């Protein structure tokens, strides 16, 4: 285009020279020896003038067309759009405009294809991001600890349980070598890609770890993830905490042993004393009465033990119906003292009862309330050393229409770490001493009686080496008690 412009300028310059020469020839006709006809000079001048004017017109039209095309292309560039160059009259640049429009059309089609491909790519990226977010959300919601390692042995994903268990931050340690994130060699050897080069099935191992000073047990599953047939994409490690299950199995085993002992001991005593009475070894009336009392006490002990198991089972299965009746709280509690008094005397433990300052009539299940109080009293006596004291008290709280039954002892106490578990079935506090017999069901039954039957709550305060206080807080009239108080109050107060 530049060459063409220069050519037009050169031609214009030549036409101008010729026109000037023609004018000079006309002016200097009289002086020339060789006279050229005027018509020839006139023709030469006219042709040159027309050629110069034509070149001027071509240059002006060309510059105007180029300026128009330049402005249109600038607008296309500014708006990021590609269209055709539009000229009212394409002469003398119709060839250039045609070629340019063909090129712009080709660019436009390519841009449309690229835009379509970009949309598809954006959709794929969005879908991939959504899938990753969904995967992360699923992993975070899993109740087991989960760690995902990519094919380069780098941390890819993990949930909060895994972070807490191994002490790392997934946002900070993501894409770091897994051997730097988890240092336990027992696990690392299963998280390296070399271990899973061949298509293998998931692997399960048992794993033991100290967490917060206590031993935890896990079932660990390593699952390789392959794509395109046998190409390793990731390794997923899940840790299922089976500590509670293992403890439950151990507690159940211990429970079976304890139940056998608790059944065998009173039965052995009853059998031995009965045989001695039948054989006539005891000749005095006082001796026989002592044996009779021992047999009765052992039978009561056996009866309470069986009642604990049956009542706990009935409450948990929901087949135990509430049997509320109106009770005098003082009478109800006073009648429990003789049932455990002989146990306290055998251990030289002082047993005290502080009755309420005023008469308290309550609605309660008489049998289950008696069982709960007896369990707390026998438990307190059991864990109190010789010379200690166990105190039973009852108070009324009129602000929320509740009454409180407290059993306080000066025994061995319970460590803070065990307070949250003492009401679990089969659980027996380690800090209380392993030599004390029991099934671990007494406090579990107390909690069920207080919370599920009487709609109350139970609290425990304890200091190791100083003793414990168990307090049952229950409404005076639980939901489900008789609506017509007058009818029941006319009846004789139920005795325990």
Tell me how far apart the alpha carbons of residues 243 and 219 are, in angstroms, rounded to a whole number.
10
Mean pLDDT over each residue of the chain, to the nearest integer:
80
| Mean pLDDT along residues 361-379 | 90
Model pLDDT, residue 20: 67
Going from the C-alpha of 316 to that of each of 248, 262, 311, 319, the distances in angstroms are 17, 22, 9, 8
Count how many residues are written for the chain: 496
| Mean pLDDT along residues 60-65 | 77
User: According to the 3-state scheme, what is the secondary structure of the chain?
Assistant: CHHHHHHHHHHHHHHHHHHHHHHHHHHCCCCCCCCCCHHHHHHHHHHHHHHHHHHHHHHHHHHHHHHHHHHHHHHHHHHCCCCCCCCCCCCCCHHHHHHHHHHHHHHHHHHHHHHHHHHHHHHHHHHHHHHHHHHHHHHHHCCCEEEEEECCCEEEEECHHHHHHHCCCHHHHCCCEHHHHCCCHHHHHHHCHHHHCCCCCCEEEEEEEEECCEEEEEEEEEEEEEECCCEEEEEEEEEEECHHHHHHHHHHHHHHHHHHHHHHHHHHHHHHHHHHHHCCCCCCHHHHHHHHHHHHHHHHHHHHHHHHHHHHHHHHHCCCCCCEEEEEHHHHHHCCHHHHHHHHHHHCCEEEEECCCCCCEEEEEHHHHHHHHHHHHHHHHHCCCCCCEEEEEEEEECCCCEEEEEEEECCCCCCHHHHCCCCCCCCCCCCCCCCCCCCCCHHHHHHHHHHHHCCCEEEEEEECCCEEEEEEEEECCCCCCCCCHHHHHCCCCCCC
Tokens of 220: 């660990």
Structure confidence at residue 307 as a pLDDT band (50, 70, 90): confident
Residues of the chain with pLDDT > 90, as a percent, come to 25
Judge contact between 382 and 436, C-beta under 8 A: yes
Nearest to 180 by CA among 190, 163, 171, 168: 168
Structure confidence at residue 410 as a pLDDT band (50, 70, 90): very high
Residues of the chain with pLDDT > 70, as a percent, come to 79
Tell me how far apart the alpha carbons of residues 147 and 337 are, in angstroms, rounded to a whole number.
57
Q: Which residues contact 111 (CB under 8 A, 6 or more apart)?
A: 82
Going from the C-alpha of 474 to that of each of 61, 358, 447, the distances in angstroms are 105, 17, 12
Tell me the sheet residues that pair with 206. 219
For the question of whether the overall pTM of this predicted structure is more than 0.75, the answer is no
Judge contact between 152 and 177, C-beta under 8 A: no
Best mean pLDDT range from 263-267, 343-347, 424-428: 343-347
Specify the pairing of strand 467-475 against strand 402-409: antiparallel
Model pLDDT, residue 458: 94
Structure confidence at residue 491 as a pLDDT band (50, 70, 90): very low
Residue 235 has pLDDT above 90, yes or no: yes
Q: Which residues contact 210 (CB under 8 A, 6 or more apart)?
A: 216
Judge contact between 352 and 482, C-beta under 8 A: no
Model pLDDT, residue 472: 95
């Amino acid at each position: 285009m530049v060459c063409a412009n220069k050519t037009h300028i050169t031609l214009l310059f030549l036409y101008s020279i010729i026109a000037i020469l023609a004018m000079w020839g006309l002016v200097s006709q009289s002086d020339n020896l060789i006279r050229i006809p005027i018509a020839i000079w006139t023709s030469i001048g006219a042709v040159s003038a027309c050629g110069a004017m034509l070149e001027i017109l071509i240059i002006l039209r060309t510059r105007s067309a180029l300026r128009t095309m330049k402005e249109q292309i600038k607008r296309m560039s500014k708006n990021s759009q590609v269209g055709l160059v539009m000229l009212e009259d394409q002469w003398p640049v119709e060839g250039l405009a045609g070629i340019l429009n063909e090129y712009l059309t080709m660019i436009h089609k390519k841009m449309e294809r690229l835009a379509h491909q970009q949309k598809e790519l954006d959709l794929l990226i969005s879908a991939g991001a959504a899938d990753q977010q969904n995967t992360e959300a699923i992993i975070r919601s899993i109740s087991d600890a989960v760690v995902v390692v990519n094919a380069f042995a780098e941390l890819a994903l993990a949930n909060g349980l895994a972070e807490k268990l191994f002490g790392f931050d997934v946002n900070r340690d993501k894409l770091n070598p897994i051997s730097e994130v988890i240092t336990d060699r027992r696990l690392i050897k299963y998280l390296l890609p070399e271990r899973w080069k061949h298509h293998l099935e998931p692997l399960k191992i048992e794993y033991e770890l100290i967490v917060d000073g206590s031993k935890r047990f896990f079932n660990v599953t390593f699952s390789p993830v392959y794509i395109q047939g046998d190409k390793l994409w990731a390794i997923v490690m899940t840790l299922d905490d089976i500590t509670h299950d293992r403890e439950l199995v151990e507690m159940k085993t211990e429970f079976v042993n304890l139940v056998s002992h608790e059944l065998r001991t009173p039965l052995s005593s009853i059998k031995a004393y009965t045989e001695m009475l039948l054989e006539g070894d005891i000749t005095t009336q006082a001796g026989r009465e002592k044996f009779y009392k021992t047999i009765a006490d052992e039978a009561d002990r056996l009866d309470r033990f069986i009642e604990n198991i049956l009542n706990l089972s009935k409450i948990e299965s929901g087949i135990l119906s509430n049997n509320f009746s109106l009770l005098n709280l003082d009478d109800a509690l006073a009648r429990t003292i003789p049932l455990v008094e002989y146990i306290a005397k055998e251990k030289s433990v002082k047993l005290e009862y502080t009755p309420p300052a005023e008469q308290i009539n309550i609605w309660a299940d008489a049998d289950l309330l008696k069982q709960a109080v007896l369990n707390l009293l026998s438990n307190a006596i059991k864990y109190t050393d010789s010379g200690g004291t166990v105190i039973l008290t009852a108070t009324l709280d009129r602000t929320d229409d509740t009454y409180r039954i407290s059993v306080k002892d000066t025994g061995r106490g319970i460590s803070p770490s065990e307070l949250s578990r003492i009401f679990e079935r089969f659980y027996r506090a380690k800090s209380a001493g392993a030599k004390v017999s029991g099934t671990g069901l007494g406090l579990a039954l107390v909690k069920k009686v207080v919370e599920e039957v009487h709609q109350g709550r139970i609290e425990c305060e304890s200091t190791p080496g100083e003793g414990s206080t168990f307090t049952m807080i229950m409404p005076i009239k639980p939901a489900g008690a008789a609506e017509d108080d007058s009818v029941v109050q006319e009846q004789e107060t139920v005795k325990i």
